[in-house]
Structure 1
Amino acid sequence: MKLKQDDLDWAVRKGLLSDQKAERLRAALKERRAQATEEPQAPKEQDRRPASSAPPAQASSASSRLDLVSVAYYAGGLVAIAAMTWLLARVASLFDLGPVALALIALAYGAAFGAGGWILRFQKNLRVAGGLLFVVAVTTVPVAVFCLRPWMEPWIKRADLWLGQPGLLDVFSEDGLLEGIATVVAGAVALRYVRFPFLTAPVALALWWLAEFSIPKLLVGGLGWTAHLRVSVAFGAAMLMAAYVTDRRTDADYAFWGYLLGLLAFWGSLLGLLYDSEAGLLLFALANVALVLLAVLLDRRSFLVFGTLGTFGYLGHLAFEVFADTILFPLALAALGVGLIYLGIKYQRRRAAIERLLWSRLPPALRRLSPRQRGRQPS
């Protein structure tokens, strides 16, 4: 059976292949067909291998070449975003334009990049480059909203008088509230039509900003820092749950940024809540152990990083503060570290067998909860 371009596009639209995997498969097939054209005579030994097992040197070369292209794409996207910010600042200082004119410039900038993304992705079949231009287009929306703030304030004051709500202007003036909401809406609309995982990055960043700064101030007002942290913990947990649901339903990695920034909001705020007492720090350490276990269940390294940082931070607290005058505790801690290294070596050597054993022992209910059910479970 021969794979055609339409087959790969269909697989990406259905979520069966990510954009990057589709591009790698396309490049590998093109290279394989070129070699077959150049050397049609006797098949060599490597030609008898399955299509997925390219020679090691050849595979690494293609991979590194594609990685460099991806780096260039992403770096170009960041430069385009920085250029937009610089352009608006220069235009505002040189021409003394009003907020509406600046917002229109930002939206025109975004429309140009959106049109370029559409051409590259859907006409030129440059899926990653086109997707990144859509990301740049999404980032222009909060910039346009920020430019419109001075224009909106008189209208909000009139709404204050009409509704009899004197605090309405304060609500909409919260740091980044309107910009964050606009980013989430623009990102959701873009994701509806363009299946590109990195589009979740500005959405997750906006949600993190709302969780850390805008929503806590809006909900708790002057109730204090503790209430702020509680709202941030709850919002971070909600982000993690939304990322988990996304991870369960998609094959491409649309959940990475939700997990990362949800963990940042949840983990940092939880530390702030529990830092004042030994019992609180112990609970924080147990929560970090749970994160390490979730890293195995969800197959997510971000959980492992945060869980390891929290666990070792607590062990450092015990070593340098609680048991600072005891020589046996550091020795026991050193022995524990050596033992963990030894277990890590053993695990690395027998990883596949250990994962199969653990997976077979998991209750069916837990197996169904893991995103490995998408087809990544050990065979």
Structure 2
Amino acid sequence: MQLTPTLLAEATRRGLLSTEQGQALWDFLAEQEREQQHDTPSFKAAHILYYLGGLIAIGAMTLFMTIGWEQFGGTGLLLISLVYGTAALLLTEYLFERKHLALPAGLTAVLAVVMVPLAVYGAQHAIGLWSDGDARHTAYRDFHYYIDWRWLVMEFATLAAGAVALWRYRLPFLVLPVAVTLWYMSMDLTPLLLGGDNLGFFSDLGKLISLWFGVAMTLLAFWVDLRSRHTKDFAFWLYIFGVLTFWGALSSMDSGSEWGKLAYCAINLLMIAIGAALSRRVFAVFGGLGIAGYLGHLSYTVFKDSLMFPLALTAIGLAVVAIGIYWQRHEAAIGRSLRRILPAPMRELVEQRRG
């Protein structure tokens, strides 16, 4: 039930609250709602403009940086990154401390953090660690496209900068560069750990490493979710890249048999259940894609000549809808029964996400 001025006035009339208490409570709730709407990402025009502009600026210095910037040399790239990073930090301080605009401050803080790998690359290039005569890719833009263990110094520096920025500003969007960097590290560590330059993400061992790295990042996201359940959503980007890394590696693996493909479908069903329990759509989205892929495999390979398969699949779909109707009618009782078996912190997290 939503609290309205009418309900608050009725509570005051019945003597549950004094007039002063009712007004003070309403003012407090109104202020909290304004702050939440102001700082919580949504599809408001202002928020869309924030993210559009911020992501364009971030992308310009990362994914979309052209090879022409190499002409500045290592020292030039180092100076440029320091100027950009300093300007972004000053703008962050202004937006965060003076204007109290958390969303744009988070975007400019991320812009400062993503200048760190460029600064490290420039410094390394200046002292000759990325020589022009190296046959392997050495342009900074390759950092975002190719797997290479030599990027690890840049990634460790970025993680350190991201941790400092998170400590300073406590803004959830700053988890994004940390999550992306961890994802990069999961791929760049593969050739270092396996002892070769040709062992990347798409090798069998590379996929296995990526899968378990995704599991670890998802578990980290769950731990962060529990720790921050009463504050801001710091786990969002960790969930995104944890599930993406895990599901991408799992989906690219060769299951070897129909039983393996059935197990893949079961894992995707479990992901949907986890998404429903934690109110995290990322699990449901990738789980749904996995199930759709498995059903496509059955349709085009296993039962390609069957007349009954579409009918059976329709019946299964309608049965799932019927289960959904039953669940909706008895959701409160089922939810209470299930939540009673959960530890207290997890029960609080689920109840808060449901709210």
TM range (shorter): 0.7 to 0.9
Seen in structure 2, the aligned counterparts of structure 1 residues 338 and 53 have a Cα distance that, compared at 3 Å, is farther
Seen in structure 2, the aligned counterparts of structure 1 residues 194 and 99 have a Cα distance that, compared at 3 Å, is same
Query: What's the TM-score once normalised by structure 1's chain length?
Result: 0.70
Counterpart position of 1:281:
261
The question of 1:220 aligning with 2:198 is answered no
CA deviation string 1:24-63 (max 9, x = no partner): xxxxxxxxxxxxxxxxxxxxxxx9x956699xxxxx9xx9
**Which stretch of structure 1 is more off in the superposition, 142-151 or 180-189?**
142-151
- 1:338 counterpart letter in structure 2: L
- 2:154 counterpart letter in structure 1: E
Counterpart position of 2:53:
76
Where in structure 2 are there 5+ consecutive unaligned residues? Answer: 1-22, 32-36, 132-146
Counterpart position of 1:368:
344
Counterpart position of 1:236:
214
Kindly indicate whether the alpha-carbon contact (under 8 Å) linking 2:85 and 2:111 is maintained by their aligned counterparts in 1.
yes
Where in structure 1 are there 5+ consecutive unaligned residues? Answer: 1-46, 55-59, 157-171
SS state of the match for residue 105, structure 1?
helix
Seen in structure 2, the aligned counterparts of structure 1 residues 204 and 65 have a Cα distance that, compared at 3 Å, is closer
Task: Find 2:114's aligned residue among 127, 131, 139.
Answer: 139
Seen in structure 2, the aligned counterparts of structure 1 residues 258 and 72 have a Cα distance that, compared at 3 Å, is same
Counterpart position of 1:8:
none
Q: CA RMSD in A?
A: 3.5
Counterpart position of 1:33:
none
Q: How far apart, CA to CA, are the structure 2 residues paired with 1:371 and 1:145?
A: 44
Kindly indicate whether the alpha-carbon contact (under 8 Å) linking 1:88 and 1:106 is maintained by their aligned counterparts in 2.
no
Seen in structure 2, the aligned counterparts of structure 1 residues 270 and 154 have a Cα distance that, compared at 3 Å, is closer
Q: How far apart, CA to CA, are the structure 2 residues paired with 1:143 and 1:359?
A: 49
Number of residues paired by the alignment?
305
Q: In the TM superposition, what are the counterparts of 1:1-379 in structure 2 within 5 Å? A: 67-84=44-61, 92=69, 96-154=71-129, 174=149, 176-211=151-186, 213-222=187-196, 225-250=203-228, 251-344=231-324, 350=329, 353-354=330-331, 356-362=332-338, 364-368=340-344, 370=346, 372-373=348-349, 376=352
Seen in structure 2, the aligned counterparts of structure 1 residues 86 and 328 have a Cα distance that, compared at 3 Å, is closer
Kindly indicate whether the alpha-carbon contact (under 8 Å) linking 2:339 and 2:347 is maintained by their aligned counterparts in 1.
no
- 1:284 counterpart letter in structure 2: Y
Kindly indicate whether the alpha-carbon contact (under 8 Å) linking 2:278 and 2:353 is maintained by their aligned counterparts in 1.
no
SS state of the match for residue 253, structure 1?
coil
Q: How far apart, CA to CA, are the structure 2 residues paired with 1:90 and 1:319?
A: 46
Seen in structure 2, the aligned counterparts of structure 1 residues 116 and 90 have a Cα distance that, compared at 3 Å, is farther
Q: How far apart, CA to CA, are the structure 1 residues paired with 2:159 and 2:232?
A: 20
SS state of the match for residue 317, structure 2?
helix
Shift of 1:197: 0.5
CA deviation string 1:253-295 (max 9, x = no partner): 1111111111111111122234332222122111111111111
